[in-house]
Amino acid sequence: MSETSSRLDLEHVDPDEVREETMIINMGPQHPSTHGVLRLLLELDGENVVSCQPIVGYLHTGIEKNCEYRTWQQGVAYVTRADYLAPFFNELGYCLAAERLLGIEAPPRAQVLRVLFCEMNRIASHLVWPATTGMELGAISMMLYGFREREVILDVFEAATGLRMNHSYFRIGGVIMDLPPDGPAQIREFLRVMPGRIREYERILSENPIWLERNRGVGHLSADRALAFGVTGPMLRAAGVARDVRKDEPYCGYETYEFGVPTASEGDCYARYLVRVEEMKQSLGIVEQCLDRLAEPGPVMVEDPKLRWPAQLEVGPDGIGNSPAYVRHIMEESMEALIHHFKMVTEGISVPAGEVYQPVESPRGELGYYLVSDGGHRPYRVKIRDPSFVNLQAVPAMLEGALVADAIAVIASVDPVMGGVDR
Amino acid sequence: MRPEELAERVRARVPEVTVARGEATVVVDRARVLAVLAEVRRDDDLAFDFLSSVTATDWPGRAPRFWVSYELSSTRHRHRLRVKVGIDEDDARLPSVTSLFPTADWHERETFDLYGIVFDGHPNLSRILLPDDWEGHPLRKTEELGGVDTRYKGAFVPPVDRRTT
Bridge pairing between strands B23-28 and B50-58: unpaired
Vertex B123 angle, CA B119 and B129, to 5°: 70
Element (H, E) at A284: helix A269-293
pLDDT the model gives residue A3: 46
Calculate mean pLDDT across residues A249-275.
91
Choose among B52, B75, B78: nearest Cβ to A241: B75
Task: Decide if A228 and B101 are in contact by the 8 Å CB cutoff.
Answer: yes
Neighbouring CB atoms inside 10 A of A318's CB total 6
Residue A310 CA to residue A325 CA, distance in Å, equals 13
Domains and CATH numbers, chain B: 3-136 (3.30.460.80)
What residue spans define the domains of chain A?
A: 63-307+349-422
Q: pLDDT tens digits, residue range A175-209?
A: 988 888 888 899 999 999 999 999 988 988 888 88
For residue A2, pLDDT over 50 is answered with no
Closest-CA residue of chain A to B100: A228
Q: Which of A228, A9, A365 lies closest to B104 in space, CA to CA?
A: A228
CB-based contact B67:B59 (threshold 8 Å): yes
Closest-CA residue of chain A to B126: A55
Q: pLDDT tens digits, residue range A286-307?
A: 999 999 998 888 888 888 888 8
pLDDT confidence of A211, banded at 50, 70, 90? confident
Task: Decide if B21 and A100 are in contact by the 8 Å CB cutoff.
Answer: yes
Residues of A in contact with B130 (CB under 8 A): 57, 60
Maximum Cα interatomic distance, chain A, rounded to a whole number of Å: 97
Task: Decide if B53 and A368 are in contact by the 8 Å CB cutoff.
Answer: yes
CATH architecture of A63-307+349-422: Orthogonal Bundle (1.10)
For residue A236, pLDDT over 60 is answered with yes
Q: Which of B150, B69, B75 lies closest to B111 in space, CA to CA?
A: B69
Closest-CA residue of chain A to B144: A65
For residue B165, pLDDT over 70 is answered with no
pLDDT the model gives residue A389: 93
CB-based contact A119:A126 (threshold 8 Å): no
Task: Decide if B75 and A243 are in contact by the 8 Å CB cutoff.
Answer: yes
A362 Cα distance to chain centroid: 6
Mean pLDDT score of chain A, rounded to an integer? 88
Task: Decide if A249 and B80 are in contact by the 8 Å CB cutoff.
Answer: yes
Choose among B20, B103, B138: nearest Cβ to A228: B103
Distance from CA of A204 to the nearest CA of B (A): 36
pLDDT confidence of A272, banded at 50, 70, 90? very high
pLDDT the model gives residue A1: 40
Q: pLDDT tens digits, residue range B58-116?
A: 999 888 999 999 999 998 888 899 999 999 988 889 999 999 999 999 999 999 999 99
pLDDT the model gives residue B44: 82
pLDDT the model gives residue A346: 85
pLDDT the model gives residue B164: 67
For residue A12, pLDDT over 80 is answered with no
Please give the order of strands across the beta sheet that includes B66-73.
B17-20, B23-28, B80-87, B66-73, B50-58
Calculate mean pLDDT across residues B9-20.
81
- Give the rounded percent of residues in chain A with a pLDDT score beyond 90: 43
Q: How high is the ipTM of this complex?
A: 0.89
CB-based contact A73:A107 (threshold 8 Å): no
3-state secondary structure of A64: helix
Assess B47–A contact: CB distance below 8 Å, yes or no: no
pLDDT the model gives residue A208: 86
Q: Is A265 exposed, middle or buried (0-12, 13-18, 19+ CB in 10 A)?
A: exposed
